[in-house]
Amino acid sequence: MQVKIIGAHGGVTRGYHATSILIDDKLLIDAGSAASSMDIQAQVAIESVLISHAHLDHTKDLGFLCDNCFGLRPAPFQVYTHKTVKNAIKAHLFNDVIWPDFSVLPTKNDPCIIFNEIEEEKELQLGEYTVLPIHVKHPGDAYGFVVTKGNVSIVFTQDTGPTERIWEVAKKVKNLRAIFTEVSFPNKLQNIAELSDHHTPQSMKKEIEKMPDKVPIYLGHLKPNYQEELIQEITDLKNSRLHILYADDVRFNFD
């Protein structure tokens, strides 16, 4: 499985893109930067989209994906997300005020985008991928995903504060090759991290104790304005399992 980090960050500024991860050039997890940081042909080639939660840094490019690919795709984008997330996107983004409702455009029967509802801990099959959504701790409804293809499984939590269930499940996953999760704020902003259900390096240190042993951990969603401080504090943890997603547009291969 190839994991391409289109956008690794929990914010947007020059050179820093919001969360989007592309698997094997066809399965997209979150749409924070999938339009602004990918060629249009690559956008057209996306087959399925998983959305973890409704926050703008994970959804904003859905509208631009539809716009960019309008008339270029043989079929609608198939978006998979929980009902509450779908309802939030439709009410607040695709509401014909902030952006056109591409789920009924150009026609209701042949739209640009179709929202499919997923359920907590109910597996779905997307082509060759099995996806298990697990609820995580973040405002509104937010989900992490265990994605499996053949004998490779990877956990993607996206945004979450300290949580339990996804690690219980992850411990039972065979062939778990990697965990992609988040550290958003430096230790001095621990109270902000707790209020917003995110991690700091010091809370991640405790979180790692709940995770399966030995599996490499990739930390993303760094807030761009604290990136240098975060890199220092994560490095100070002196844990060889930790990898920092400080740059966008990087690829990892797992087999």
Compare residues 63 and 220 and give the one whose CB is closer to Zn ion: 220
Give the range of 23-31, 54-62, 85-93, 163-171 binding Zn ion by CB under 5 A. Answer: 54-62
Compare residues 10 and 161 and give the one whose CB is closer to Zn ion: 10
Secondary structure letter of residue 224 according to DSSP: G
Instruction: Decide if residue 220 touches Zn ion (CB under 5 A).
Output: no
Residues 1, 6: Cα–Cα separation, whole Å: 15
- Least separation in angstroms between residue 70's CB and Zn ion is 27
Instruction: Decide if residue 57 touches Zn ion (CB under 5 A).
Output: yes
User: In angstroms, how far apart are the furthest CA atoms of the chain?
Assistant: 55
- Least separation in angstroms between residue 51's CB and Zn ion is 11
Give the range of 120-128, 157-165, 210-218, 246-254 binding Zn ion by CB under 5 A. Answer: 157-165
Compare residues 55 and 60 and give the one whose CB is closer to Zn ion: 55
3-state helix, strand, coil in the chain (%, to 5): 25, 30, 45
Closest to 29 in 3D by CA, of 166, 147, 149, 183: 147
Instruction: Decide if residue 10 touches Zn ion (CB under 5 A).
Output: yes
- Phi (first) and psi of residue 153, to 5 degrees: -125, 145
Compare residues 54 and 112 and give the one whose CB is closer to Zn ion: 54
* Amino acid, single-letter form, for residue 21: I
Return the residue of 159, 207, 233, 248 that touches Zn ion, per CB under 5 A.
159
Secondary structure letter of residue 223 according to DSSP: -
Compare residues 31 and 211 and give the one whose CB is closer to Zn ion: 31
Give the range of 70-78, 99-107, 115-123, 153-161 binding Zn ion by CB under 5 A. Answer: 153-161
Compare residues 159 and 207 and give the one whose CB is closer to Zn ion: 159
SS3 assignment, position 230: helix
Helix axis angle, 201-208 to 227-235, nearest 10°: 40
Return the residue of 4, 9, 17, 55 that touches Zn ion, per CB under 5 A.
55
Closest to 53 in 3D by CA, of 140, 183, 126, 131: 140
Residues engaged in binding Zn ion (CB under 5 A): 10, 55, 57, 159
